Amino acid sequence: MSIKIAVIQFPGANCDLDTVHVLNNVINVEADLVWHNHFKEAHYDSVILPGGFAFGDYLRAGIIAAHSPAIDQAKIMLKDGRPVIGICNGFQILTEAQFLPGALLQNDCLKFICKWVNLKVENNTTALTNQMKIDDVLAIPIAHGEGRYYTDNMKELEDNNQIVFRYSTEQGELTQEANPNGSLANIAGICNLEQNCIGLMPHPERASETILSPKSTDHGKLFFNSMIEFIKRRIS
Amino acid sequence: MPLQEFEVEITLMNKPAARDPIGETIQKDLLAKKGYDIVFNVRSGQFLRINLKAAGENEARKIVEKMCNDLRIFNPVTQNLTILKVARS
C-alpha cells in the first residue's frame, strides 16, 4: 500500500507548494495539494496544515480556518491515530481548533521574525520526531508574527510530555536570548496526548535541502521521515 | 413580535496574565517618553461593532454572547470578552 499525504490549501496559504515539493521530490512520497473545501480524509494517511496567512489572519491567526470543513475531516484522522501536522499558521489553526492546547500570541518584539533558529528535541516518540534523538539540536527557520506560545496549564503539558520542541542555543541551552518570540518556556512545538497531532512554528519544509540552509543542513527531512515511519508502523 | 435592529459593541482583550506588548509599547515607548508619566498601564485589544436583528435587547445580548462562545470569536485561553453596549440602532 502506497502512502499518500494531503497538504491543505486555505486561501492565504503560502507554504503549501513548498511542503508538497519536499514531500514529492525530496522525501519521495505521494502528496496532494488539496483545496480546503474539497478535502476527504478517507484518501489519505496523513494531513499537513501548511504555513501562510489563512483567511488573511483576520480576527486571529488560524481562527477562520479552524471552522473550515477540512478541520472536521482532520478531526476524523486525529481520532483514528493518523498524523495531523500543523506548521506555523497550521499550528495556529490546530490551537484555535482545540486539537492542541494553548494559543499563539503576537511576538513579544511586535515584529514579524524570519530567521534560522536552533530547535531542541524534547520528545522523540511523536509522529514527527521518532527519527530524532532527545536533545538533538536542529537548524531550522522560523517566519511568523504570532508565534508566542502561551498556555495557562503548563504543568499538564510538562507532566504529559507534550512539549516536543524548544528554542535553544546551538549548544542546546534554553536561554532567553535563544527564544525569538517570548514563548513560555521557549516552547516551539507541542503534541496532543496521543502524539499523532503536532504543531510547530518552525518550517521543516524550508530546511529539507542543503542548498537552502546557511549551514548546508537538511534537518527538515527528519520531520517528514518521522511522519512516514509513524504511518508505516501504524498500517503494518 | 417583530424583530428590531440592534447594535452591539464588544471588546476582546488579552487576559491580565498574557502579556500585551502593544499596550506596553504605547505606554513605555510613546506616552512615558513624551511626558505622560502619569500613565502607568495601557492594554490593547480588538473592537467589534455588530448589527443584528433580535426581538429585544436581552435577546440581542444573548445571541452575541452565544455566537462569541460557540465560534470562539474570542479565545478563552488568552482573552476576555466584554460587551460594552447593546442598543437599538
Which whole number is the average pLDDT over A41-69? 97
Q: Residue A107: its pLDDT value, please? A: 96
Percent of chain A with pLDDT over 90: 98
CA A230 to chain centre: 15
Sign of the dihedral defined by the CA atoms of residues A34, A117, A147, A61, in that order: negative
Question: Per-residue pLDDT for A213 more than 90?
Answer: yes
Gap from A102 CA to chain B (nearest CA, Å): 6
Gap from A215 CA to chain B (nearest CA, Å): 33
Would residue A88 show up in a list of annotated catalytic residues for this protein? yes
Among partner residues A105, A109, A110, which is closest to B78 by beta-carbon distance?
A105
Would residue A205 show up in a list of annotated catalytic residues for this protein? yes
Using DSSP, state whether A65 is helix, strand or coil.
helix
- DSSP letter for each residue of B7-39: EEEEEEEE-TTS--HHHHHIIIIIITTTT-TT-
Give the cell for residue A28. Answer: 519521495
Q: Tell if the CB–CB gap between A103 and B75 is shorter than 8 Å.
A: yes
**Catalytic, out of A88, A144, A146, A197:** A88
Structural domain boundaries of chain B?
4-88
Among partner residues A67, A103, A108, which is closest to B77 by beta-carbon distance?
A103
Model confidence pLDDT, tens digit, residues A183-199: 999 999 999 999 999 99
Q: Tell if the CB–CB gap between A106 and B78 is shorter than 8 Å.
A: no
Which whole number is the average pLDDT over A151-162? 96
Residue-averaged pLDDT of chain A: 97
Q: Tell if the CB–CB gap between B18 and A59 is shorter than 8 Å.
A: no
- A9 in Cβ contact with A34 (< 8 Å): yes
Q: Tell if the CB–CB gap between A59 and B46 is shorter than 8 Å.
A: yes
Gap from B70 CA to chain A (nearest CA, Å): 11
Give the integer Cα–Cα distance in Å for B22 and A182.
Answer: 14
Give the cell for residue B15. Answer: 487576559
- A19 in Cβ contact with A46 (< 8 Å): no
| A13 beta partners | A52
Q: Residue A1: its pLDDT value, please? A: 62
User: What is the ipTM, given to two decimal places?
Assistant: 0.84
Topology given in CATH for the domain delimited by A4-235: Rossmann fold (3.40.50)
Would residue A203 show up in a list of annotated catalytic residues for this protein? yes
Instruction: Give domain B4-88's CATH architecture.
Output: 2-Layer Sandwich (3.30)
Structural domain boundaries of chain A?
4-235
Residue labelled with grid coordinates 470543513: A69
Give the integer Cα–Cα distance in Å for A141 and A201.
Answer: 9
Residue labelled with grid coordinates 503548563: A154
Chain A contact set for B75 (CB, 8 A): 60, 63, 96, 103
Model confidence pLDDT, tens digit, residues B42-72: 999 999 999 999 999 999 999 999 999 999 9
Among partner residues B18, B46, B73, which is closest to A105 by beta-carbon distance?
B18
Give the integer Cα–Cα distance in Å for B72 and A11.
Answer: 20
Question: Per-residue pLDDT for B17 more than 90?
Answer: no
The letter for the amino acid at A1 is M
- A197 in Cβ contact with A124 (< 8 Å): no
Which whole number is the average pLDDT over A17-42? 98
Secondary structure letter of residue A85 according to DSSP: E
Closest CA to A196 of A116, A69, A85: A85
Residue-averaged pLDDT of chain B: 95
Q: Tell if the CB–CB gap between B77 and A151 is shorter than 8 Å.
A: yes
Name the pTM for this structure.
Answer: 0.94
Rounded to a whole number, what is the distance in angstroms from the first to the last CA of chain B? 17
